[in-house]
Amino acid sequence: MEKSNPRLLKLYHRFNKRYFNSTLPAHPLINFSDEFSDRYGDFMVLEDGTYQIRINPEYNRPRCVLYMTVLHEMAHANLAYISGTHGEAFHKEIARLFKLGAYRSIL
Ligand SMILES: [Zn+2]
């Protein structure tokens, strides 16, 4: 079984606790991936139900960018069974994170 990147997993757990009330899955698959070059990262639910987040290592070198991308993909994870787009539900989710101070140390 594929394992998560320890640094990314640590970040995921911290954000899950702080901003998602630990409601996102405790055992996601979160890794750096060079399988794409057109995105900062992406999220999908695998066939076995595992939440997968892939992060582009090239575009996410500065820590603040990495944090933004992980939060963005976790917002998608929180809406996994609601919406897969960047529509209204997604904007509301980002606004919710912003109000919780998720971006305070980043922006
Ligand atoms: Zn997105």
Q: Is residue 107 part of a domain?
A: no
Compute, in angstroms, the gap from residue 3 CA to the centroid of ligand 1. Answer: 23
* 35: in domain: yes
pTM: 0.95
Q: What is the pLDDT along the chain (107 residues), one digit of tens a residue?
A: 689 999 999 999 999 999 999 999 999 999 999 999 999 999 999 999 999 999 999 999 999 999 999 999 999 999 999 999 999 999 999 999 999 999 998 87
Q: Ligand 1 centre from 42 Cα, in Å?
A: 7
State pLDDT tens for residues 4-26. Answer: 999 999 999 999 999 999 999 99
**65 CA to middle of ligand 1, Å?**
14
Task: Count other Cβ atoms within 10 Å, centred on residue 8.
Answer: 21
Tokens representing residue 53 in the block: 């987040």
Please report whether residue 106 resides in a domain. Answer: no
Dist. CA 2 → ligand 1 center (Å): 23
Residue 54: domain span? 6-99
Within a domain: residue 105? no
Domain count, the chain: 1
User: What residue ranges in the chain does DSSP mark as E strands?
Assistant: 29-32, 41-45, 51-55
CATH at residue 29: 3.30.2010.10
Contact 43, 51 (CB under 8 A): yes
